[in-house]
């Protein structure tokens, strides 16, 4: 298989003399315990070039050509033997991670540390065993690479796998292993230290195989690797392990904490349906045996899910971890005891003009919030001064306008909740015996009065001109118990909008509802835009309540549930059921990177009892129960693809003559217009990929790994919905294309649309308050309360908004969540190694990349079109959340491959 080339620079001494002899274990096939999943029978060959003590010499003799290609050379002294050279490419940040232990390990590595490699042929020997050969590679501390050589018999055949043992005391991140000009192992994985676990890692060469087509010599490795990944379901997981298993969300509460009410129900099961998470196996609470204990240490994720060192140092989980566990508490302490309310709107502006002083100056704060630390007040303090979001930079008063309120439902942070009104009157599906009369208070007469001059109500309904944010039934069950909490209130809400002839939406009416209870009847009121002073202020307050509802649904449902949470079972099932060399595993791998890590951090400090979400969003401690209800009532896999989502909300209908096969109900719908280009590009790429490996439908049905994968997603990962009739079947290529395209869209396009605009749209919180702290002034007020409102209505709005502490914390969080890493992996940007191994796949990916590049131009041209009023106009932020590429930082654009923040 290798090109024979004689390299005259290799001396006889270098070929046969060992400067450091192989340890017995290096050549002993029984070095690993018999219980190991991999205890191979090894063909022992002559030892090869070995450790160079001089680092400079090691680098200068690295067996690479000027072009960086690795050569296989014929050994002139041994018959029928080819000397193969190779390089292990690692991703390291040694210069950013200098610790005493690291320095000691690196010093020792000059002399003693190796990566041990055992290469496995695709061919069997005469005894029916896989052919194998071992070698070892010394670590180049400064180069971050391992170079090696080994001898291979000419009848060895093509190398198909390698077993890797890391003798270094720290884990290492291997990007790829290259052999000769032809064989590459794309790893993109951490490899644990053998001092933690002697289990060797298996990597397969880049060529993909269906289970039925796997070379005989690799079948046992394929099977055993999957068995190891699944684990036994027992014991507490360790940081160096690579075990993927399922568990319910039983680690959000902290019932053992006696100082506060932090007990929470388990999410997952009949009572609170929910997707499954990655199992950690921590011990159970002494107070509640159904709840797992919590820890201040990072929650376990399989080692491959951890960030590469560059990402963890420059941005990502470590940044968010430090923000949540170090900086946020200091912000809270700095604001404790001070006036909780903003007394004037000028006080809000001070967050950008003067900042917030927090005690204790250190480099950690500056490293976590580099954009926000503008100056140090003195040696003892840090000053956090927020950058004005792009929205308020362009228009200070943008948040007050009704047209902007409606426009953001199409081109803002949560563009996937608006739905077409198809039936009238509006009727609640909740039990009227519990919640009161189900009929909406928004009447035909109210609507007709507001749209007078455009058309009649009947014409508006028939012509599909009425749209709604409907959070009535989702929120109403939580109203009474949320109102029992301190500093927060809640309503069920409906917001009706009208599509004008200009193609823009205008709000028509807002209905707020409080359910009936033992001591008071149901209360509901309809607010409409008003020119009068009192009505105008009530309208502003009603919008603030609706925006707090939309912020909660956005964060809990559109963002967390539909992307982070729903994707986690796909990741677990993929690792447990699809081998590394399965083509679908390799297709999905880029879209799963880092998601489990960021989700674990969310469970630790964001969505947990008393965490950021509960303390800053409505409905407080019931946030995750509401999320469970949304999963139960609203989540359907068959509606997660963008076209299906638009159709299910009445925002589009199928039309073969229209672009993308859909006719949009609102033609100028930026999220849908841009999203459908990306959806089509993803689906075309997946179609080419799937049809290459599955030319016949029978191959889909007979693929046992693939069928086990889809079955486990439905019956375990999303097991609380396993009996739903809407789950797609997996029998044909089209079935597989639809399923995989949906997963990729959710991980890339959908997540980007609801995540990376968070600071721009919600950083100035009056535009999107996360919580409403006070009830409406006309909600059964006392005479004194009503008079206070009449005397100074601005105070009522400021008291309804988040407190200073809540607003500051949320703004800091949103700044980090909206930031792109320096090494962000954007969709269509870089071809994966395994895609290059197959010419047809490489060609299809290049076509995919061309379509993604074209999106950049299309989106720019749309944003420059002044006829598109939902994305262009004075003071408007152009819609570019689905523009594929971005610079590092907060940019309001860029579509990463995966949910990585």
Q: How many CA atoms lie within 13 A of 314 on its CB side?
A: 16
Q: Which two tokens stand for residue 288?
A: 């509640």
Is-cis flag, bond preceding 425, omega within 30?
A: yes
Tell me which residue of 407, 346, 356, 414 sits closest to 550, measured CA to CA.
414
Say which of 192, 549, 559, 589 is annotated catalytic.
Answer: 559
Please answer whether residues 877 and 892 qualify as being in contact, where contact means their C-beta atoms are separated by less than 8 angstroms. yes
Say which of 577, 599, 673, 755 is annotated catalytic.
Answer: 755
Please state the separation of Cα 284 from the chain's center in Å.
Answer: 28
Say which of 243, 751, 771, 820 is annotated catalytic.
Answer: 751
Residue with tokens 């209905």: 511
Would you call 727 helix, strand, or coil by DSSP? coil
For 283: left if phi > 0, alpha if psi spans -120 to 50, otherwise beta; the answer is beta
Number of helices (H), then strands (E), in the chain: 34, 23
- Residue 639 CA to residue 643 CA, distance in Å, equals 8
For 487: left if phi > 0, alpha if psi spans -120 to 50, otherwise beta; the answer is left
- Residue 549 CA to residue 553 CA, distance in Å, equals 6
In the annotation, is 427 catalytic? Answer: no
| For helices 793-800 and 783-791, angle between their N-to-C axes, nearest 10 degrees | 100
- Residue 115 CA to residue 119 CA, distance in Å, equals 13
Please answer whether residues 545 and 733 qualify as being in contact, where contact means their C-beta atoms are separated by less than 8 angstroms. no
Q: In what order do the strands lie in the sheet with 419-420?
A: 419-420, 466-470, 492-499, 505-514, 523-527
In the annotation, is 809 catalytic? Answer: no
Would you call 555 helix, strand, or coil by DSSP? helix
Please answer whether residues 811 and 885 qualify as being in contact, where contact means their C-beta atoms are separated by less than 8 angstroms. no
Secondary structure of 669-723 as H, E, C letters: CHHHHHHHHHHHHHHHHHHHHHHHHCCCHHHHHHCHHHHHHHHHHHHHHCHHHCC
- Residue 629 CA to residue 274 CA, distance in Å, equals 9
In the annotation, is 13 catalytic? Answer: no
In degrees, rounded to 5, the angle at the alpha carbon of residue 397 between the alpha carbons of residues 393 and 400 is: 135
In the annotation, is 582 catalytic? Answer: no
For the chain, the residue count is 901
* Longest CA pairwise span in the chain (Å): 103
In the annotation, is 559 catalytic? Answer: yes
* Residues classed as catalytic: 559, 564, 751, 755, 901
């Amino acid at each position: 298989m290798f090109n024979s080339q004689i390299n005259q620079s290799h001396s006889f001494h270098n070929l046969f003399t060992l400067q450091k002899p192989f340890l017995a274990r290096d050549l002993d096939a029984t070095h690993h315990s018999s219980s190991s999943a991999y205890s191979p029978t090894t063909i022992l060959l002559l030892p090869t070039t070995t450790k160079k003590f001089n680092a400079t010499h090691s680098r200068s003799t690295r067996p690479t050509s000027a072009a960086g290609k690795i050569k296989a050379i014929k050994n002139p002294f041994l018959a029928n033997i080819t000397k193969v050279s190779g390089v292990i490419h690692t991703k390291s940040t040694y210069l950013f991670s200098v610790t005493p232990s690291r320095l000691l390990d690196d010093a020792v590595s000059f002399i003693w540390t190796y990566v041990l490699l055992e290469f496995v042929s695709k061919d069997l020997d005469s005894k029916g065993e896989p052919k194998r050969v071992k070698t070892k590679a010394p670590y180049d501390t400064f180069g971050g690479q391992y170079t090696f050589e080994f001898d291979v018999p000419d009848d060895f055949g093509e190398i198909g796998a390698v077993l890797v043992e890391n003798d270094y005391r720290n884990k290492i991140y291997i990007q790829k292993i290259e052999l000769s000009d032809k064989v590459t192992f794309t790893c993109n994985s951490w490899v644990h230290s053998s001092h933690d676990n002697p289990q060797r890692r298996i990597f397969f060469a880049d060529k993909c195989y269906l289970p039925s087509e796997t070379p005989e010599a690799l079948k046992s490795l394929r099977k055993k690797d999957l068995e190891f990944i699944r684990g036994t379901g027992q014991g507490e997981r360790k940081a160096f392990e690579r075990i993927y298993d399922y568990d319910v969300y039983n680690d959000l509460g902290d019932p053992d904490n006696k100082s506060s009410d932090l007990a929470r129900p388990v999410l997952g099961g009949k009572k609170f349906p929910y997707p499954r998470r990655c199992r950690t196996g921590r011990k159970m609470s002494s107070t509640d045996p159904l709840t797992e204990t919590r820890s201040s240490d990072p929650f376990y994720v399989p080692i491959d899910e951890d960030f590469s060192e560059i990402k963890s140092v420059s941005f990502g989980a470590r940044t968010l971890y430090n923000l949540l566990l170090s900086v946020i508490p200091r912000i809270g302490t700095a604001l404790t005891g001070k006036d909780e309310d903003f007394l004037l709107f000028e006080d809000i502006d001070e967050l950008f003009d003067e900042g917030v002083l927090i005690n204790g100056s250190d480099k950690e704060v500056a490293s976590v919030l580099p954009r926000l630390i503008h100056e140090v007040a003195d040696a003892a303090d840090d000053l956090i001064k927020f950058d004005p979001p792009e929205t308020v930079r362009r228009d200070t008063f943008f948040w007050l306008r009704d047209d902007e309120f409606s426009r953001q439902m199409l081109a803002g942070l949560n563009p996937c909740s608006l739905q077409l009104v198809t039936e009238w009157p509006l009727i609640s599906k909740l039990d009227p015996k519990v919640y009161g009369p189900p009929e909406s208070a928004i009447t035909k007469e109210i609507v007709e009065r507001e749209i007078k001059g455009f058309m009649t109500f009947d014409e508006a309904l028939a012509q599909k001109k009425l749209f709604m944010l409907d959070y009535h039934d989702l929120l109403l069950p939580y109203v009474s118990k949320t109102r029992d909490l301190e500093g927060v209130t809640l309503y069920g809400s409906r917001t009706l909008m009208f599509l004008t002839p200009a193609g823009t939406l205008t709000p028509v009416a807002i209905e707020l509802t409080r359910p009936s209870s033992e001591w008071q009847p149901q209360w509901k009121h309809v607010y409409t835009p008003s020119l009068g002073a009192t009505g105008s202020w009530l309208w502003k307050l009603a919008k603030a309540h609706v925006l707090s509802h939309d912020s909660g649904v956005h964060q809990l449902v559109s963002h967390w549930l539909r992307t982070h949470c729903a994707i986690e079972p796909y990741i677990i099932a993929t690792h447990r059921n699809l081998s590394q060399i399965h083509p679908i595993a390799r297709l999905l791998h880029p879209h799963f990177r880092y998601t489990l890590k960021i989700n674990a951090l969310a469970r630790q400090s964001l969505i947990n009892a008393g965490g950021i979400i509960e303390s800053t969003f409505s409905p407080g401690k019931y946030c995750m129960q509401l999320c469970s209800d949304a999963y139960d009532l609203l989540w359907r896999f068959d509606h997660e693809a963008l076209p299906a989502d638009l159709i299910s909300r009445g925002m589009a209908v199928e039309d073969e003559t229209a672009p993308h096969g859909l006719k949009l109900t609102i033609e100028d719908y930026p999220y849908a217009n841009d999203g459908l280009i990306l959806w089509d590009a993803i689906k075309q790429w997946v179609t080419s990929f799937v049809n290459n490996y599955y030319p016949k439908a029978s191959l889909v049905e007979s693929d046992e790994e693939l069928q086990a994968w889809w079955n486990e997603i439905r019956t375990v990962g999303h097991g609380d919905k396993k009996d739903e009739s809407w789950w797609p079947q997996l029998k044909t290529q089209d079935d597989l294309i639809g399923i995989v395209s949906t997963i990729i869209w959710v991980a890339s396009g959908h997540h980007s649309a609801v995540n990376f605009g968070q600071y721009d749209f919600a950083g100035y919180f009056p535009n999107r308050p996360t919580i409403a702290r006070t009830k409406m002034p006309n909600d059964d007020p006392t005479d004194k309360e009503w008079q206070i409102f009449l005397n100074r209505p601005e105070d009522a709005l400021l008291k309804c908004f988040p407190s200073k502490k809540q607003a500051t914390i949320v703004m800091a969080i949103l700044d980090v969540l909206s930031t792109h890493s320096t090494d962000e992996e954007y969709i269509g940007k870089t071809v994966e190694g395994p895609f290059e191994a197959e010419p047809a796949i490489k060609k299809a990916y290049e076509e995919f990349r061309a379509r993604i590049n074209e999106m950049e131009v299309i989106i720019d041209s749309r944003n420059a079109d002044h006829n598109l009023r939902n994305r262009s106009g004075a003071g408007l932020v152009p819609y570019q959340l689905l523009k594929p590429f971005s610079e590092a930082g907060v940019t309001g654009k860029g579509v990463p491959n995966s949910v990585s923040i």
